[in-house]
């Protein structure tokens, strides 16, 4: 009896194991069916699986990558520490790209306004901040210079002169005719003021070929060509002012042992301020000529800017300011004459 009872218990135990295995198999099969089925219970075909896989890949592509897409370095923040590329992808819906572009533009616009205000009304402060390494909060000097210079040359275009009823001279050379016409006014470019100066003789020798062309060509066309080429040359000439001005500063502050790069930044931002100030004075002088007296601010600003950047007393800064202004005016004269000669040489 005892033996029969043990056999019955053993059979029941084996049956429970078999039932448990069958339930696990059914659950596993149900799980597989659920994975391969749509939410409504219908079987998922290969097309649906491909669509789900593509959707998942799109979602994954919008998530930030662990490594930089440009150089492959491990990302630890919003920007790559190796190459500086933003970790956030530029790809995405058009509304999100438009929003990010507007946000960046407004941030750049705000930085430009702040940089211009500091440059105009706080002499030397913008340069000092840049040289101290505080460069993320200010607009780069080159970009600021380009913005102001484009506006400057857009406003100050060289006007086209109507010389159809004038005797036009370049130096002592009469354009387009052998003898001056009586009753016509005289229009002179690069007049030396003397009867037979050394400058006139040098000009006739150096530009002999151009003089022949000018005598044979129409006077109005020649004047237009000279002024058009002058407009193209002057911006480049002013750019050359920056390293020359920095070289002057390097000589004046030789005992300070300041890097030439620092002088270059100072001269670049002073040139930017000067063009901006000339635009402001010009706009105000159109309303009232007395506003032209604001040119007296230029040496005051220059002296204050030097004091802030180079940390010297006014007793040392003022003589250097006078020397800089004299040299600067001489450079402007040389640049103007050189630009004029270059425009004539290109005829």
DSSP secondary structure string, 84-121? --BSS-S-S-HHHHHHHHHHHHHHHHHHHHHHHHHHHH
Most confident of 73-87, 108-122, 183-197, 198-212: 108-122
* Residue 30 belongs to some domain of the structure: yes
Q: Is the full-model pTM beyond 0.75?
A: no
5: tokens are 């009872």
Q: What is the pLDDT of residue 305?
A: 94
Helix (H) or strand (E) holding 239: helix 219-252
More confident residue, 35 or 142: 142
Dihedral pair phi/psi, residue 82, rounded to 5°: -90, -50
pLDDT-based confidence at residue 49 (cuts at 50, 70, 90): low
Q: What is the mean pLDDT of residues 201-219?
A: 76
Residues in the chain: 347
**Has residue 7 been placed in a domain?**
yes
pLDDT of res. 138: 76
For the chain, give the percent of residues with pLDDT over 70: 67
Residue 297 lies in a domain: no
pLDDT exceeds 70 at position 220: yes
Distance CA 197, CA 203 (A): 10
Q: Is residue 196 part of a domain?
A: no
Whether the per-residue pLDDT at 61 is higher than 50: the answer is no
Q: Is residue 21 part of a domain?
A: yes
Of 10-14, 86-90, 258-262, 278-282, the poorest mean pLDDT is in 10-14
Cα angle, residue 106 at apex, residues 144 and 60 outer, rounded to 5°: 120
How much is the pLDDT for 92? 55
Please name which of 256, 245, 247, 239 lies closest in space to residue 302, comparing C-alpha atoms: 245
Contacts of 177 (CB under 8 A, 6+ apart): 167, 219
Number of domains the chain contains: 1
**Residue 334 lies inside a defined structural domain of this protein:** no
Would you say residue 200 lies in a domain? no
SS3 category, 242: helix
pLDDT at 24: 47
Overall average pLDDT of the 13-35 stretch: 48
Q: Where are the beta strands (DSSP E) in the chain?
A: 166-170, 173-174, 185-189
Question: Token pair 């003789």 is at which residue?
Answer: 201
Residue 96 has pLDDT above 60, yes or no: no
The domain of 32 spans: 1-37
Residues 164-185 pLDDT 10s: 667 777 777 777 666 777 777 7
Q: What is the pLDDT of residues 3-15, one digit of tens each?
A: 445 554 455 545 5
Q: Band the pLDDT of 306: cuts 50, 70, 90.
A: very high
User: Between 343 and 30, where is the model more confident?
Assistant: 343
pLDDT tens across 232-255, in order?
787 787 888 889 999 999 999 988
Distance CA 17, CA 102 (A): 67
Are 252 and 318 within 8 A, CB to CB? no
Q: Kind of pairing, strands 166-170 and 185-189?
A: parallel
For strands 166-170 and 173-174, give the pairing.
antiparallel
pLDDT for the residue numbered 39: 47
Residue 209 lies in a domain: no
Q: What is the pLDDT of residue 89?
A: 60
């Amino acid at each position: 009896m005892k033996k029969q009872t043990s056999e019955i218990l053993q059979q029941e135990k084996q049956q429970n194991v078999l039932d448990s295995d069958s339930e696990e198999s059914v659950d596993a099969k149900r799980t597989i069916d659920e994975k391969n089925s749509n939410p409504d219970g219908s079987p998922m075909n290969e097309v649906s699986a491909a669509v789900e896989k593509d959707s998942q890949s799109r979602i994954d592509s919008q998530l930030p990558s662990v490594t930089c897409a440009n150089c492959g370095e491990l990302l630890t923040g919003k920007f790559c520490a190796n190459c500086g590329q933003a970790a956030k992808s530029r790809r995405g819906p058009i509304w999100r790209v438009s929003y990010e572009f507007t946000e960046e533009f407004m941030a750049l616009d705000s930085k430009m306004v702040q940089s211009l205000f500091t440059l105009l009304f706080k002499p030397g402060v913008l340069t000092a901040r840049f040289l101290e390494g505080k460069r993320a909060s200010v607009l780069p000097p080159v970009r600021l210079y380009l913005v102001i210079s484009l506006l400057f040359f857009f406003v100050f275009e060289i006007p086209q002169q109507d010389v159809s009823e004038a005797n036009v001279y370049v130096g002592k050379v009469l354009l387009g005719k052998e003898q001056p016409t009586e009753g016509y006014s005289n229009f002179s470019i690069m007049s030396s003021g003397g009867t037979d100066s050394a400058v006139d003789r040098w000009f006739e020798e150096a530009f002999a070929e151009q003089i022949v062309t000018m005598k044979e060509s129409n006077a109005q066309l020649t004047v237009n060509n000279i002024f058009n080429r002058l407009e193209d040359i002057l911006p480049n000439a002013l750019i050359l002012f920056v390293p020359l001005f920095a070289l002057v500063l390097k000589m004046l502050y030789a005992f300070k042992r300041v890097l030439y790069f620092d002088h270059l930044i100072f001269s670049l931002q002073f040139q930017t301020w000067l063009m901006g100030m000339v635009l402001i004075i010009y706009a105000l002088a159109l309303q009232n000529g007395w506003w032209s007296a604001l040119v007296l601010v230029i040496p005051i600003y220059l002296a204050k800017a030097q004091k802030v950047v180079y940390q010297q007393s006014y007793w040392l800064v003022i003589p250097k300011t006078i020397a800089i202004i004299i040299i600067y005016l001489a450079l402007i004269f040389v640049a103007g004459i050189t630009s004029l000669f270059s425009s004539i040489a290109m005829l």
